[in-house]
Amino acid sequence: MWKLLQRSGNAVSVVPRRRWCSPGLSNAVRLSSSQMDPADERVLRKRKFQPQQAADLSEELAGQLPVKSRVVICGGGITGASVAYHLGLRGWGGETLLVEQDRVGGELPWTACGLAGRFEPSYTELKLAEYSIDLIKRLAENGLPTGWRPVGSLNLARSWDRMTAFNRMKSQALAWGMHCEILSPEQCAQHCELLSLDGIEGGLWIPEDGVCDPQLVCQAYMIEAQRLGVRIVEHCAIKKIHSEHGKVRSVETTAGDVECEYFVNCTGFWAREVGTLSKPVVKVPLKAVEHHYLHTKPIEGLSPDTPFVRDFDGRIFFRECEGHILAGGFEREAKMVYEDGVIPLSQTARQHPPDWDHFHELLDALLLRVPSFRDATLDRLTNSLQVFSPDCKWILGEAPEIQNYYVAAGNKTMGVSASGGIGRVLTDLITKGSTYLDLHILDISRFLGLHNNRKFLRDRCKEAPGKHFEINYPFEEFQTGRNLRMSPIYPQLKEAGAVFGQSMGYERPNYFDQQDKHDEFGLPRFRIAQTRTFGKPPWFDHVASEYRACRERIGIADYSSFTKYDFWSKGNEVVDLLQYLCSNDVDVAVGSIIHTGMQNPNGGYENDCSLARLSERHYMMIAPTIQQTRSMCWIRKHMPNHLRAKVNVADVTSMYTAICILGPYSRILLSELTDTDLTPKSFPFFTYKELDVGLADGIRVLNITHTGELGYVLYIPNEYALHVYSRLYQAGQKFNIQHAGYYATRALRIEKFYAFWGQDLDTFTTPLECGRSWRVKFNKPIDFIGRNALLKQREEGVKRMYVQLLLNDHDHEVDMWCWGGEPIYRDGVYVGMTTTTGYGYTFEKQVCLGFVRNFDDEGRELPVTNEYVLSGHYEVEVAGVRFEAKVNLHSPNLPTKFPDREREAYHATRDKPDQADLLSYGGVTTVKGTGIPTDGHGL
C-alpha cells in the first residue's frame, strides 16, 4: 500500500496517566517553566486558587511558616483540627503547625449528617465516640457555636435478629455506662410521631445522643487550637515527608521546608495519596465512594426536637435540621468514584451530580418509614464523597513504615463522632506513647500491603459502607476481595468441603461441609462461612464432628495464616534482643519452644507468641495471624540501637505452609511418615525438631497445637506442602483422619481456657491478669520491656482476672448464644465482660472466657484475688437474659478416653508458678496429677 495519510501532529497526544500528582506543583518556579507536564497542568487547573495567586501566596506564606515545628499536622478538616486542639490542651500548642492545602474546615456545608452518636460495634469505638460527644457538649457550654442539640437517637428494628442485636447492645451499654432503652413499636412512635410503624418490631433509644453542625465543630476546634498557640497555615500543600533512620525528619511544603519530629496525616480523602509522598510509602488503605444526602425544603410543623432516626433494615436515617429534613442512607453496594485513584484536590471539583437512580431504593425506604415526607418538597440531593477502609473501621495510629508518622483517617461518615476521641488518643500516643484505650482494632498496623492495592480497595469498598447498617452477626465475612491469599493446599481443602473465612486476606477453612460442595460443573465451589444468627449456628453439627475427630481420632487443620518470623544473628545478639522484648526466658535449650508475651512498658501484651529455638542463634516466632504487620512494627521500634545492625528479623509467613495434625493418634501417624523417634522421651511436648516427612525434608515440626490437644504443627516449605499434606491425609485414612476448621480448633482452645491475642488479650492485659505470671521471668539477666510495671502489679495485686465461665441451664438449641461481649455479673453486680465464647462440646455447655474486676461501692477498683473470684455467684447476661455460671481459674482437664500425662500436666492458664518447671525441657517425667476437677462429666 502506498501511504497517503499520516497521523497529524496536533492529534490526541497520549498523556501518561498519573496516579497522584503532588499538590506541591503550584511551586512558582515550576509553573513559570514551559516544560510543564500536561498531566500536572490538568491537576492544577482543578485547584481552587489560581497558580499566579499561589505564587504570591507562597511568598506571603514563606514568612508565616516556621522553619521548625515539633508536630506538623497535614489536613485542616475536623480530624486535623481536633488533633491540633488536643495537642494544644497538652501544652504542645506552640510546637504544633497545621497546614492545609486549601482552607481549613473545607467541607461544604451539609455534606455530613452531623450525628454525634455512640452506636458503635466495639468498646473502643464507643468510648471514642462518647468522648467526642462529651467534648462537643463542653465546647457548646463554653459558648462556642457547635450546633449541638441533644435530641437523642432512635434506632428501629424490623426483624427479630435486629432486636437481638439491640438487646445485646443494651446489655453491653449498661456495663459500659451508656444509657439506652429498648422500646416497643408504640414507644418508638412516642419519640417520633412521624413514623409509620409498619413492620417495626421495636427500637433502641439512646437519649444522650444528639446532633451538631460538623463545620461549626471544626471551627470551634480550630479557634480553640489557635488560642492554645497552634499555628495554622492555609493554602500550603505538603510536597514530601522526609524521614531519616526510619523516623520523620522534615516536611517539604509549597511554602518551604519545616523540620519536625512528628507528622500527622489527617487528610481524609487524600490520606492514601499523601501516604505516597514519603519514602517508604505509608500505606493508608482507603477508597472514596459516593454518598448522598437528601435535603427537603422547610416542613411546616416539624418539631425541632425530632430525634435522629435510623431505620437500619431500610438502610436509612434522617434528622431535623433548621426546619427541614436531612436524610441519607447506606446502600447495599456503594458506587465507586475515581476508580483510578486520582481524587481532585478541591471540593468543587469533587462535586458529583446526584445519582437519583442509585438513591431510589433509599428514597422509597424513607417514604415508607415516614409517609408524611411524600408531600415534602425537594431542596436538593447532594452527592458528597466519603472514604471507607476495607473493613469499614477507622484507621489510626503510628504508621508501620515510618516512626513518628501518625495517621487518622477513614472516619467514614462519622467524622464528628470520631474526631474528638481520635484527637485525644493520637495526642496521647504522640506525647506519652500510650493512651487510655486499647486501639488494636483501629490500628493502621492491622493491614497488609494487599489491603492497599487499588483494585482490592475498589472491590472491597463497594461492600464496606453497606456493612455500616448490617446486623452485627458473629463471624461476619466480606464477600468481595476473596481468594486472595491461599495456602498451597487450598484446592485440596476446597475439594474436601471447606467453607472459608478470611483473616488478613488469607482464606482459612472455618469448617467443612460435605453437602452441596460442588457447583453445576462438578467443580469444588468456593463457599464463604456464614453464621447470620445469634443463636445456634448453622455449622454446629459440622464443628461438633470435627471437634470429636480432634479429641478422639485425628484432625488435620490448616494453620498457614499464622504469622511466622525468623530471628537470627551471628553472635548472641538475637538472644539479647528476644530477652529484652519478651517477658519469658528465651535462653532455653535448643529445640525448646517458649510461649511468651511481648509486653509494652505498662505490662500489656503487644504480642503473644511461641518461639522455637531452632539453633543456638536462630529462633522462629509463631504469632496470631493479625500480628503480621503489627509485630514487625513493634520489634523494629523497640530494637535497641546496638542490636539493630546485628539481628535479622524476617517475615517468613508466606514461605511456609502450616499443617496441624491433632488428636490422640497424631503421634502414631507422624511416626509412620518419618524416621525420627517421636516418643515423648526423644521429642517431648513443647519442643521443636526438623524432620523428614514422606519424601520431603526440612520440615519444622513443633510439638504443640495451640488447642491443648496432642499433636504437631508442621511448618512446611511451600513447595513440599502438597506432598506432605497428601501423605498425611493418605496415611491418616486408617485412623479416619478428618479435616478440622478454625471453628473446631477455636472450640477446643476455649474449652481448654487458652487465651488468644486480639480476642482475649490486648495491649491493656498483663500476664498476671490472665493466669500467665508463670510465663514471666522476673529474674532474667536482662531487664525486659514492661518488667517494672509487672513487678509493681505483682506487689499491688491485679485489678482484673481472666476466668472461664460455664453457663448452667443454657439450652444451646433455643437460647441465644454467647458471642463475646456479654456482661458478667457477680452476686448481681456487673464485674466485667466476656471476651471469647463458644460451645464446649465436651462440657456440653456454653463456655465463656472473660475478665472480672472488683469494684467497691463507690466504683473504685480493688485488687482481685482468687478467693474473690471463687467466692462469688456468677451470671452472664446474653441478649438481656441472665444465665447462672460456674467459674474456673485454671484450664480444666477434659475427660478423655486417651489420657496423656504430658498433656494433662499442661495448663495454659493457671496461677501457680511452680508448675511451670514441670514443662521445662527434659523435665517431663516428674509430672503429678494436678488437674482441677471439672464438673464431673464423664469422670
Partner 1 sequence: MFKFVLNDAASYVRSNVREFSLNALRLLPQLPQLSPYDVNLVLRENEFVYNFPVDGVIRSYETNQLGSNWPCEDSRTEASFLHRNGFICGIFDGHAGAACGQVVSKRLLRYVSAATLPRQVLREQMKQGADSQSFLKCHNDNVDFVSMIKPMYEASFLKYVNQLLETPQRDVSSELVNAFLQLDEEISQEALTSNDVRTMNVALSGAVACLVHIEGLQMHVASTGDCGAVLGVLDPQTQQWHSKKLNIEHNADNMSEVRRILAEHPKEEHETVIRNGRLLSQLAPLRAFGDFRYKWSQEIMQQKVLPMFGVQAMAPNYYTPPYLTARPDVQQHELGPNDKFLVIASDGLWDFLPPSEVVSLVGEHINSKKILEPMRLPEGDTTLQEISQQLAERKAGLTRKPVDQNAATHLIRHALGGTDYGIEHSKISYYLTLPRDAVRLYRDDITITVIYFNSEHIAKLHSDVDQTEVTAPVA
> For binding to partner 1 (CB under 8 A), which residues are involved?
1-8, 11-12, 294, 296-297, 353-357, 360, 363-364, 366-367, 373-378
Q: How far apart are CA 605 and CA 623, in angstroms?
A: 12
The separation between CA 90 and the C-alpha centre of its own chain, rounded to angstroms, equals 28
- To partner 1, the closest distance from the beta carbon of 337 in angstroms equals 14
Phi, psi of 764 (to 5 degrees): -105, 0
Q: How far apart are CA 139 and CA 150, in angstroms?
A: 14
- To partner 1, the closest distance from the beta carbon of 295 in angstroms equals 11
For partner 1, which is the closer residue by CB, 359 or 511? 359
- To partner 1, the closest distance from the beta carbon of 49 in angstroms equals 27
Phi, psi of 405 (to 5 degrees): -105, 110
- To partner 1, the closest distance from the beta carbon of 377 in angstroms equals 4
Phi, psi of 256 (to 5 degrees): 125, 175
For partner 1, which is the closer residue by CB, 13 or 515? 13
Distances (CA, A) of 682 to 83, 589, 591, 689, 703: 58, 14, 11, 10, 12
Q: What are the residues whose beta carbons fall under 8 Å from the beta carbon of 709, sequence distance 6 or more?
A: 550, 551, 555, 662, 663, 748, 903
Q: How far apart are CA 521 and CA 759, in angstroms?
A: 40
CB burial string 38-76: b at 16+ within 10 A, e below: eebeebbeebbbebeebbebbeebeeebbeebbbbbbbb
- To partner 1, the closest distance from the beta carbon of 155 in angstroms equals 23
SS (H, E, C) 273-312: HHHCCECCCCCCCCEEEEEEEEEECCCCCCCCCCCEEEEH
- To partner 1, the closest distance from the beta carbon of 343 in angstroms equals 21
Give Dmax over CA atoms of the chain in angstroms: 101
Question: How many residues does the structure list for the chain?
Answer: 939
Which H helix or E strand runs over 242?
strand 238-244
Relative orientation angle of helices 214-227 and 123-141, to the nearest 10 degrees: 70
For partner 1, which is the closer residue by CB, 201 or 320? 320
- To partner 1, the closest distance from the beta carbon of 707 in angstroms equals 47
- To partner 1, the closest distance from the beta carbon of 376 in angstroms equals 5
- To partner 1, the closest distance from the beta carbon of 745 in angstroms equals 43
For partner 1, which is the closer residue by CB, 376 or 869? 376
For partner 1, which is the closer residue by CB, 5 or 29? 5
Q: How far apart are CA 803 and CA 793, in angstroms?
A: 18
For partner 1, which is the closer residue by CB, 290 or 709? 290
- To partner 1, the closest distance from the beta carbon of 334 in angstroms equals 18
For partner 1, which is the closer residue by CB, 333 or 677? 333
Q: How far apart are CA 307 and CA 310, in angstroms?
A: 9
For partner 1, which is the closer residue by CB, 160 or 356? 356
Phi, psi of 461 (to 5 degrees): -75, -5
For partner 1, which is the closer residue by CB, 5 or 814? 5
What secondary structure does DSSP assign to 545-591, as a single string? HHHHHHHHS-EEEE-TTSEEEEEEESSTHHHHHHHHHBSS-----TT
Phi, psi of 140 (to 5 degrees): -65, -40
- To partner 1, the closest distance from the beta carbon of 329 in angstroms equals 14
For partner 1, which is the closer residue by CB, 8 or 33? 8
Contact 402, 247 (CB under 8 A): yes
For partner 1, which is the closer residue by CB, 368 or 789? 368
The 8-class DSSP code of residue 261 comes to: S
